[in-house]
Amino acid sequence: MRTGPLLVAVALGTLVSVGLGVYGRLHEPTFFAVSVTGFSSGTAVKSWLGTAAFVLVLVQVVSARLMYRGGGRFGAALHRWSGRAAVLLTVPVAVHCLYALGYQDSTPRVLVHSLAGCAVYGAFVAKMLLLGRPGGPRWAVPVLGALLFVALTALWLTSSLWFFTTSGLTF
């Protein structure tokens, strides 16, 4: 077992996380909201896209379990495609958060949200870099997947769930 690929993947994932945080902190927020027809606000768009991504993350957990229990091609395909869709749903949210709002720490909820947002993409990068790399530790990809799940769950709890509990299930 070689640890080199793991160290490189974790180092690059960490650089992505820190880089996003530094950019979000140094960038002057524009407060320009994502506008999608049918939604009342940028926050509503982000909350619904985040909720859809969170549902797909739950599918990721189920499909990962299927893969590791011999779910074959179906489990692997479900995992791969639900993951791709989840990441695609998070990209406009992340762009909006970084560009319009930046990295913030005004309240504990907002701080956790900012940290989790940076961690999501760092964990994602590290996990993707390790996939298909022979000779690495077998536990690394599931651990990074679990970290990604925890970070996305924290994001959903500190944004979408918060929005829905304070504003209702509005579009």
pLDDT digits (tens, 9 = 90+) for 28-79: 888 766 666 666 777 788 888 999 999 999 999 999 888 888 777 888 889 9
pLDDT in tens, 104-163: 888 999 999 999 999 999 999 999 999 877 777 888 889 999 999 999 999 999 999 998
pLDDT at 51: 95
CA atoms within 13 A on the CB side of 155: 29
**Residue 83 predicted with pLDDT over 70:** yes
Cβ distance 82 to 59 under 8 Å? yes
Please say if the pLDDT value at position 80 is more than 80: yes
Residue 37 has a pLDDT of 66
At residue 155, the pLDDT reads 93
Sole residue written with tokens 């299930």: 169
Band the pLDDT of 3: cuts 50, 70, 90: confident
Q: State the pLDDT at residue 103.
A: 85
Are 111 and 105 within 8 A, CB to CB? yes
Question: How many Cβ atoms from other residues are within 10 Å of residue 169's Cβ?
Answer: 11
> pTM score, two decimals?
0.85
**pLDDT for res 1:** 61
Average pLDDT (99-106) is 84
What per-residue string of b and e applies to 45-83 under the rule 16 or more CB within 10 Å gives b? bbbbbbbebbebbebbeebbebbeeebeeebeebbeebb
